[in-house]
Homo-oligomer: A and B are copies of this chain.
Amino acid sequence: MSGAGRPKNYDKDKVLYAATNLFWEKGYESTSLEDLMRVMDLGKGSFYNSFGSKRDLFIECVRYYDSKAIDHIADLLANSERPIEEIKNIFRRCAESNKTAHFLGCFAGNIITELATIDPELTNLAKAHLKKLEALFLYHIKNAQRTGDIQISENPVFLARFLLNLWNGINITRRIYPNKKELINMIELHLTILK
């Protein structure tokens, strides 16, 4: 099935997941190869044979995260009877995160902030992710305006970007105020626009 040669001794999905979580926690530069090899449980030989370089692995991790996260949210919204309410609940659940999740923030937002002036290619991967998120918002806002689920007649492009900015803002604000009490009212105030 998988051709000749010694078989891989690890589960690709598992090591990618582990690496992604580490990059998420520490950022790109502050994650060392030693760290990566430890959490992936891989030796140097396997690491470089399989992933080429730290940078290549990072790219794979971002793509891995991108597809998983976007698929998840797309499914959530596609299977909801009131997608706008589901979008609102996604933001509300942000406020209810535990401390760890608050301090981790959004993987894509973190990458953009760390690498904006340092590595445009890596930054673009993260930008593309957030643009997909915005596109999901836009799609469901347009639908809701058409079906009458929301009454606001504002340009849906602006509304989607408004939500993207709420998302991005929370990524920083949640580190300053890592608890529901301090976040939820600010978030609800944003959501009053979507009606």
Interface of A, secondary structure class, is: helix
What's the Cα separation between A185 and B18 when bound, in Å?
Answer: 40
Copy number in the complex reads 2
Interface residues on A, range: 35 or more
A130 proximity list for chain B (CB < 8 A): 172, 176
Subset of 14 A-B contacts with CB under 8 Å? A112-B172, A113-B113, A114-B114, A155-B185, A158-B189, A161-B186, A164-B186, A165-B170, A165-B173, A165-B186, A166-B169, A167-B169, A168-B170, A169-B169
Q: A-side interface residues toward B, CB under 8 Å? A: 25-27, 29-30, 103-105, 109-110, 112-114, 116-118, 123, 127, 130-131, 154-155, 157-159, 161-162, 164-173, 175-177, 182, 185-186, 189-190, 193
